[in-house]
């Protein structure tokens, strides 16, 4: 079988204990909320894991298997391994994964102080020592709607709730729970078990001085704090035998936590765990409720946890699994350098379950990339089912199995943004005759602008464009699909995906020359310098853009735009951004990185409400660190040559700015839809022309419509 030499190490077989794996790519465990509320495995869960097995992973790890279900749950629809009644469903899941040649394990977990479902019922969670959850910290940067949702969910929890210290008797009971759960996993056909000793759950709380203040045999120095985990390992080994693979997910470090686990603690613990008989170590990390959480386990910057795995790898002989925003290229490099033995990936396999098989066949360009928006993780905070912004099929595999149609239709897609491209892609894969019209010189639509200000979008933009160009889709650039053209073409189906239009800001002085809209900036990126946006620029700025026009129209990419913007942009040194949603905050980040002093103004109560909370925490922290003033609940009074006059709490003030950028006022572009209604057999609308849907909504619309036509 051919294996792309670029990923030789990543794709070579490996072993954990006596378990042989076909490659070194592990599907990292994630909570999904796909199980039934009573803990049983669902068809949705089986389809989800089977799809990743079919895509070529060596090992799939089922996340957060509750060993004491229904107690100590961290999410409402959590997989249970706490009773023999769950074995049949677990067996079916194991069979579904084995059918495609992958191995499967389950992660054994007790949520400890993070047992949200108990807290919601007013039951104090168990922890090594009594602690009071940092509620105020968690609520930081949440919108009022989100706060209200949480308050409703936890209405039965006392405001001053303190966790309950676990007793020695309860410790003994839970050791048995872990061992019994491992025995069930083995009987169900699972190939191994992973003990979750990280991420702020019960075992990690024992290991961390920040949570463990006990004075008995389970507190104090590390060998005592590790006693609970070591007893669990011994009990599991006695239950399943010496040849059954057992490993542990551990924190190599806790970030931004006073008295948290240090790298030295992680290294010392790893030696203990090897001596206790574990077959591998899965080295992750953790951080505080907000500060630190985006360092780990979300992992920012990419590869932030690799040094932790490397440090432990030098001390132990058993395999080390590295995790934490590791791309295939970085994973291959880690393995070749001997920093780890296996690479665990979570979000990249949500975006593309076929990632391993595409790497093996040399089709790296076909891998659908993760954009690290963290919507998947954000869903879990609201006790909702996980989804992927760039892959509509994640968690809905049964609904998005692409099959060839028996009745080929003539399909016209109007608009080459993400919604249009995804619609065209799916419809073409199903065998329809697809023509895509885009009035600009390139495909991408708003995603081109989004990729310029948020770099992680760019690979996804290139992926969509490449897929459309590889398929039998007739792409007509620089051609506007007028109602007359569409009617002459006599299509069976028309999909309108024209995106949004930006309305002129209704602010006194909004037509000043120092005011730019996002639409103006998009025009500049498209190489068009006519119209109202160009008139606002100085003669020198217009001359620069005019002379650069031919080059920009032909060669400009988001990455090139970012590089050029470090040297020159048609904005002043002080910028006020009107609008504090995702677009405004990403634009502000982009400007700060290029030396601008930025103020974000928002008429609503919060910022970035359309951004996943887990990413919002990091973005707003970065903006604060970058000196950005963020002012909410403002009324815009007037734009002047000096800046913008606002009022807040009845007081007027002037925000000085050379340039005002309007990043709000987006409205659905529905004119074409209205004109075509009743004139074509089938018509649909997708993406931002429905409402502001962002990437997730655009891809979901495109995939759904492509499956429907």
* CA 430 centroid distance within chain: 28
DSSP string, 635-646: EEEEE-SSEEEE
Instruction: Give the pairing type, strands 651-656 and 643-648.
Output: antiparallel
> In terms of Cα–Cα distance, which of 84, 86, 6 is closest to 38?
86
Q: Kindly tell me if the per-residue pLDDT of 305 is higher than 90.
A: yes
Per-residue pLDDT band at 470 (split at 50, 70, 90): very high
User: How far is it, in rounded angstroms, from Cα 162 to Cα 401?
Assistant: 47
325 neighbors 303 (Cβ within 8 angstroms) = yes
pLDDT at 529: 58
| Chain segment 616-670, per-residue pLDDT in tens | 999 999 999 999 999 999 999 999 999 999 999 989 999 999 999 999 988 888 8
Distance CA 52, CA 691 (A): 32
CA distance linking residue 609 with residue 632, whole number of Å? 12
CA neighbor of 91 nearest in space, from 226, 200, 187, 227: 187
pLDDT at residue 1 tops 70:
no
- Give pLDDT tens digits for 254-279: 999 999 999 999 999 999 999 999 99
Mean pLDDT, the chain, integer: 94
Lowest mean pLDDT among 16-20, 64-68, 514-518: 514-518
How large a percentage of the chain has pLDDT more than 90? 81
Cis peptide before 382 (omega within 30 of 0): no
Band the pLDDT of 252: cuts 50, 70, 90: very high
Q: Which of 81-90, 327-336, 378-387 has the lowest mean pLDDT?
A: 378-387
- Count of residues making up the chain: 709
Given pLDDT bands bounded at 50, 70 and 90, which one contains residue 290?
confident
- Whether the pLDDT of residue 533 is over 70: the answer is no
* Residue with the two structure tokens 């296996």: 342
Look at residue 353 and give its three-state secondary structure.
Answer: coil
Residue 693 has pLDDT above 90, yes or no: no
What pLDDT is recorded for position 381?
Answer: 86
pLDDT for position 551: 73
Residue 178: the pLDDT is: 98
Q: How confident is the model at residue 461 (pLDDT cuts 50, 70, 90)?
A: very high
Asked if the model's pLDDT at residue 227 lies above 70, the reply is: yes
Q: What is the pLDDT of residue 219?
A: 98
- Cα-based angle 330, 333, 334 (whole degrees, multiple of 5): 90
Q: What average pLDDT does this structure show over 318-323?
A: 98
Give the pLDDT confidence score for residue 334 in this predicted structure. 98
Q: What is the pLDDT of residue 301?
A: 86
652 phi, psi to nearest 5 deg: -90, 145
Q: How confident is the model over 178-205, as a mean pLDDT?
A: 98
Q: Convert the pLDDT of each residue in 329-349 to its tens digit.
A: 999 999 999 999 999 999 999
pTM for the structure as a whole? 0.95
| DSSP codes, 435-449 | EEEESSSSS-THHHH
Catalytic amino acids? 201
Q: How far is CA 193 from CA 109, 187, 230, in A?
A: 11, 12, 15
- What pLDDT, on the 0 to 100 scale, is given for residue 534? 65
26-42 CB burial, b ≥16 within 10 A, e <16 = bbbbbbbbbbbeebbbe
Residue 527 pLDDT > 70: no
CA 439 to mean position of chain CA atoms: 31
Q: Per-residue pLDDT for 532 more than 70?
A: no
Q: What is the pLDDT of residue 634?
A: 96
Q: At residue 517, does pLDDT exceed 70?
A: yes
Q: Tell me the pLDDT tens digit for each residue of 88-110.
A: 999 999 999 999 999 999 999 99
Choice among 161-165, 190-194, 350-354, 409-413 with the minimum mean pLDDT: 161-165
Burial 676-695 (b: 16+ CB within 10 A, else e): beeebeebbbbbbbbebbbb
Give the pLDDT confidence score for residue 575 in this predicted structure: 97
Helices 418-429 and 694-708 pack at an angle, to 10 degrees, of 30
What is d(CA 427, CA 408) in angstroms, rounded to the nearest whole number? 10
Q: What share of the chain has pLDDT > 70, as a percent? A: 98
* Nearest of 107, 124, 128 to residue 115 by alpha carbon: 124
Question: Rounded mean pLDDT of 349-375?
Answer: 96
In 10 A of CB 135, how many CB atoms? 14
pLDDT score, position 530? 61
Residue 74 has pLDDT above 90, yes or no: yes
């Amino acid at each position: 079988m051919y294996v792309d030499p670029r990923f030789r190490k990543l794709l070579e077989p490996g072993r954990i204990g006596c378990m042989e794996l076909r490659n070194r790519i592990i599907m990292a465990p994630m909570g999904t909320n796909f199980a039934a509320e009573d803990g049983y495995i669902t068809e949705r869960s089986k389809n989800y894991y089977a799809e990743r097995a079919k895509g070529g992973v060596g090992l799939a790890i089922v996340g957060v298997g509750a060993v004491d279900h229904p107690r100590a749950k961290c999410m409402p629809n959590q997989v249970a391994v706490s009773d023999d009644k769950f074995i049949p469903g677990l067996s079916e899941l194991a069979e579904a994964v084995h059918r495609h040649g992958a191995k499967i394990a389950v992660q054994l977990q007790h949520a400890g102080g993070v047992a949200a479902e108990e807290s919601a019922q007013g039951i104090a969670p168990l922890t090594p020592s009594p602690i009071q959850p940092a509620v105020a910290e968690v609520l930081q940067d949440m919108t009022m709607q989100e706060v209200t949702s949480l308050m409703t969910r936890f209405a039965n929890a006392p405001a001053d709730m303190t966790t309950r210290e676990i007793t020695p008797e309860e410790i003994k009971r839970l050791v048995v729970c872990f061992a019994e759960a491992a025995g069930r996993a083995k009987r169900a056909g699972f190939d191994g078990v992973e003990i979750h000793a990280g991420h702020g759950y019960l075992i990690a709380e024992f290991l961390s001085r920040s949570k463990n203040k006990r004075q008995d045999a389970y507190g104090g120095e590390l060998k005592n704090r590790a006693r609970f985990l070591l007893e669990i390992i011994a009990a599991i080994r006695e239950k399943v035998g010496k040849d059954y693979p057992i490993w542990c997910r551990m924190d190599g470090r806790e970030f931004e936590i006073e008295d948290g686990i240090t790298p030295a603690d992680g290294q010392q613990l790893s030696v203990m765990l090897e001596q206790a008989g574990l077959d591998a170590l899965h080295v992750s990390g953790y951080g505080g409720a907000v500060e630190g959480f985006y360092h780990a386990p979300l992992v920012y910057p990419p590869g932030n946890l690799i040094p932790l795995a490397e440090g432990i790898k030098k001390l132990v002989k058993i395999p080390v699994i590295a995790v934490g925003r590791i791309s295939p290229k970085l994973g291959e490099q880690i393995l070749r350098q001997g920093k780890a033995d296996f690479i665990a990936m979570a979000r990249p396999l949500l975006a593309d379950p076929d990632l391993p098989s595409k790497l093996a066949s040399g089709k790296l360009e076909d891998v659908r990339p993760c954009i690290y928006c963290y919507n998947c993780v954000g869903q879990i905070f609201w006790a909702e089912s996980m989804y992927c912004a760039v892959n509509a099929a994640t968690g809905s595999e049964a609904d998005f199995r692409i099959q060839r149609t028996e009745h080929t239709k003539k399909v016209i897609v109007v608009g080459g943004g993400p919604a249009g491209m995804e619609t065209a892609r799916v419809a073409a894969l199903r065998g329809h005759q697809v023509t895509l019209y885009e009035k600009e010189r390139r495909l991408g639509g708003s995603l081109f602008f989004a990729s310029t200000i948020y770099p992680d979008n760019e690979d996804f933009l290139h992926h969509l464009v490449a897929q459309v160009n590889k398929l039998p889709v007739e792409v007509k650039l620089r051609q506007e699909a007028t109602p007359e053209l569409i009617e002459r073409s006599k299509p069976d189906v028309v999909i309108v995906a024209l995106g949004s239009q930006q309305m002129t800001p209704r602010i006194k002085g909004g037509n000043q020359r120092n005011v730019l809209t996002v639409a103006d900036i998009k025009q500049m990126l498209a190489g068009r310098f006519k119209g109202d946006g160009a008139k606002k620029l100085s003669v020198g700025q217009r001359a620069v853009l005019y002379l650069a026009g031919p080059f920009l129209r032909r060669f400009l990419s988001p990455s090139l735009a970012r590089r050029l913007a470090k040297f020159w942009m048609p904005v002043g040194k002080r910028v006020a951004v009107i609008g504090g949603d995702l677009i405004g905050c990403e634009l502000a980040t982009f400007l700060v990185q290029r030396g601008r002093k930025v103020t974000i103004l928002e008429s609503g109560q919060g910022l970035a409400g359309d951004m996943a909370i887990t990413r919002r925490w990091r973005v707003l922290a970065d903006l604060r660190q970058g000196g950005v003033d963020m002012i909410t609940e403002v009324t815009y009074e007037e734009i002047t040559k000096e800046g913008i006059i606002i009022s807040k709490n009845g007081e007027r003030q002037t925000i000085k700015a050379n340039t005002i950028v309007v990043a709000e006022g987006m409205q659905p572009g529905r004119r074409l839809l209205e004109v075509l209604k009743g004139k074509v057999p089938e018509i649909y609308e997708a993406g931002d022309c429905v409402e502001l849907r962002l990437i997730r909504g655009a891809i979901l619309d495109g995939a759904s419509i492509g499956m429907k036509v």
